[in-house]
Amino acid sequence: MVMEISFSTMFFHDHPLDLIFDAVRRSGADTLEFWPETPDWWLDGLPEGRLARVMKEYPLSSPLSVHAPVLDLNPCSINPDVVKASILWIQYSIKLADSLGAEVCTIHPGKRTSKRPPSETDYCRLDHMLDEIAPYAGSSHVSVSIENMEPQVNALLTTPAEISRILEEREWLSFTLDTCHVASRGEEVLGEFLSVAEGRIANVHLSGASGSVMHLPVKSNPWADRSLDLLAGAGYDGLVTLEINDLSVGNPLSVEAKIRMIYEDVNVVRNHLT
């Protein structure tokens, strides 16, 4: 049985926090994946008191999760200032997640700066980032969870073998499985991710895919259906986060249309996994 169904605050990219939090109740979801980069909060100076007030006014039935900032950041950059800023924002996000009572903080591994296959040096930079955030993870009540990336030329952590290695080396680290990032490689590889990360998955980012278009709604999407079948077969019963890109859908969506879309996808997930 699915314990929690969530959606990303970035789906409501241009809307205020109170509307986003109220959309949880209206859509039938349980909670949110909160991105500090949500514009209404990020551009307002990240006021934690305001966030706390909104959370009190629109209480969630399950603890939220946090997604560390990734826009304009890269912890594996060849630019040391970019590396420093990226790590600081990950550390900030872990502390924020802890203060908000979140259970999971998802992070990205970064990428090689140039569009070339990652080298040993790039993986050393990834190890450095993880070493820097380990004390923050160890002193919090949050599961710090690294996400698999879409298989692009300069991307890190795109294969089950890479995820297996990094989890084996760090007992404190969890895994956020992005099913859409596996779409181009098919069901067999998605099944391998589920196998190598068994017992370590803290969050599943779920969305549809069609050709090169990613992060589509789940409803009526064949890849999302196959992903849900594999999750059900693996007995997954943890957090599922709908990660839909409103720009992938086509025409601009109204608030009501977005809430209806989440509502329909929540029902699809519940029907598959309960």
Per-residue pLDDT tens for 230-265? 999 999 999 999 999 999 988 889 999 999 999 999
Would the pTM of this model clear 0.85, i.e. be above it? yes
Work out the percent of the chain whose per-residue pLDDT is above 70: 99
Which pLDDT value is given to residue 251?
82
The predicted model gives 86-93 an average pLDDT of 98
The mean pLDDT value of the chain amounts to 96
pLDDT in tens, 147-191: 999 999 999 999 999 999 999 999 999 999 999 999 999 999 999
Which pLDDT value is given to residue 252?
87
Is the per-residue pLDDT at 1 higher than 70? Answer: no
Pairing assessment for the beta strands 213-216 and 208-210 based on DSSP bridges: antiparallel
pLDDT in tens, 15-48: 999 999 999 999 999 999 999 999 999 999 999 9
Pairing assessment for the beta strands 65-67 and 31-34 based on DSSP bridges: parallel
pLDDT band at 2 (very low <50, low <70, confident <90, very high): low
pLDDT in tens, 120-147: 999 999 999 999 999 999 999 999 999 9
Is the per-residue pLDDT at 3 higher than 90? Answer: no
The predicted model gives 216-220 an average pLDDT of 97
User: What angle do the packed helices 160-169 and 187-196 form, to 10 degrees?
Assistant: 10
pLDDT in tens, 183-211: 999 999 999 999 999 999 999 999 999 98
The predicted model gives 72-90 an average pLDDT of 98
Work out the percent of the chain whose per-residue pLDDT is above 90: 96
pLDDT band at 274 (very low <50, low <70, confident <90, very high): confident
Is the per-residue pLDDT at 273 higher than 90? Answer: no
